[in-house]
Amino acid sequence: MRSDAVKTGMQQAPHRSLFNALGMTKEELERPLVGIVSSYNEIVPGHMNLDKIVDAVKLGVAMAGGTPIMFPAIAVCDGIAMGHTGMKYSLVTRDLIADSTEAMAMAHQFDALVMVPNCDKNVPGLLMAAARINVPTVFVSGGPMLAGRVHGQKRSLSSMFEAVGSYSAGTMTAEEVEEFENKVCPTCGSCSGMYTANSMNCLTEVLGMGLKGNGTIPAVYSERIKLAKHAGMQVMEMYRQNIRPRDIMTKDAIMNALTVDMALGCSTNSMLHLPAIAHEIGWDFDITFANEVSAKTPNLCHLAPAGPTYIEDLNEAGGVYAVMNELTKKDLLNLDCMTVTGKTVGENIKDCENRNPEVIRPVENPYSQTGGLAVLTGNLAPDGGVVKRSAVCEEMMMHEGPARVFDCEEDAIDAIKGGKIVAGDVVVIRYEGPKGGPGMREMLNPTSAIAGMGLGSSVALITDGRFSGASRGASIGHISPEAAVGGPIALVKEGDIIRINIPENKLELAVSEAEMDKRKAEWQPREPKVNTGYLARYAAMVTSGNRGAVLEIQK
């Protein structure tokens, strides 16, 4: 056992004395030590129930012959952090989570791990850590929130942000906003649409790192507790078979994840996290080949905010495995990939039927013949920008309009809510990238304000920052290179014409090459917004959005 390094032999007598201080018995030390990485806290609604999940996991591990030991991981609520300086600290926690989990697991020499995340950065951060540590590991999340209901209609967090925009536009009263406020988030769990948390939890199933239902069983269902017990039992079976994360998270598995991402219509943030996970297994993931995958992958789901269905509906329709089984009809998945069940993807999804063709469209009748995400390139984004194509209305698939340029999110929000943005405009928010932000803030406030003010079918937004999974409309993020390193987005001037062509994956600035060269020569780097603490260290090491904003020592 790996844990023998801390518990077996005369040299480890001091170590055993410390285990004795923990109240551990000799019998417990004779078993494999299983680390339970808990993201539980009392500030994130998606994490407030994780103590119950952890208790169930620990029972499952113990029943199967292991000794469970919990240690924590931090977590940020993106919704609470949204729209202020706190959002600079969201994406950056992904690497803190990975680093701290690696440190704890290696320092204490656990034989296996069960990861218990739920919200946005915890899932990819712990997947990154799992690949590094490479001991038998299973994921079990806290599960999605049930949809809220207002006036008989299902609603979610994105409805709440859009309600604020409607209030600014004078189309909703303060009392109506308060009703939304009290009803759209009715339970614990990760917010109820296909936002980033649920996107990544669904992709744990596709990657083979979570059991069936991990991405879709609602947080408040007792079935979630049973899933957690089975996860605890299954990690012990993985330990006995020596099945490890790098046996599971292969290049083929990540390509499966990208394919199902397209079918589900996942958050654009998956195009940050999949490259970062790939980086941990030694693969340089080029986001532009996402278009090749998208070109052959039908979009089968329009979950909120793209449509009227929610994760609870996907669960009832058969879940992620049913979506995967639909895709096998076009031979789009590698079915030979290993999973935490000890079986292949093909064995896992066999006979998983689609129980609701309105929630999961059959491959013969997709929402579109192409996938939910697209990577746009052109002279404005030579290294790419990402858009959730499935959440863009038909009128905005091709758009041309004048740039309205803002050097931070707050200025853009003031302009939108102040009525200064009009139909046809292209809002440009820059110096919000991984380095420039620093931290690559999500732009849910401005996208929601645009939608709430009735401009969602006539105004586009581009940024070197990123978008919440709750964003919808012609919202193009991850523009690379970012403004802080002199990317073309830094050279845009007020009134420049920007051309967006999503069907052809193009994003162009209608400015001559000579003029762009002149502007580039005149451009000067800006002083960093932050010079101390973790954000300053992060800004010094982070790479661009098209590479997943991974951290590297700058040479």
Residue 134 CB partners (closer than 8 Å, separation 6+) = 244, 245, 246
Give me the long-range contacts of 19-25 (CB less than 8 A, separation at least 24): 24/67
Catalytic residue among 458, 468, 475, 480: 468
Peptide bond into 481 cis (omega under 30): yes
506 residue type, one letter: K
Residue 267 annotated to the active site: no
Contact 16, 30 (CB under 8 A): no
Structure tokens at 529: 């917004």
Sequence length of the chain is 555
Please identify which residue in the block is written with the tokens 């046809």.
424
The SS3 assignment for 473 reads: coil
Bridge partners, 388 (sequence order): 373
Distances (CA, A) of 547 to 67, 261, 278, 283: 38, 18, 10, 11
Structure tokens at 509: 């600035």
DSSP for 157-209, written as a single string: HHHHHHHHHHHHTTSS-HHHHHHHHHHSS-SSSB-SSS-HHHHHHHHHHHHTS
Q: Alpha-carbon distance 92 to 539, whole Å?
A: 9
Neighbours of 22 (CB within 10 A): 8
Report the catalytic residues.
468
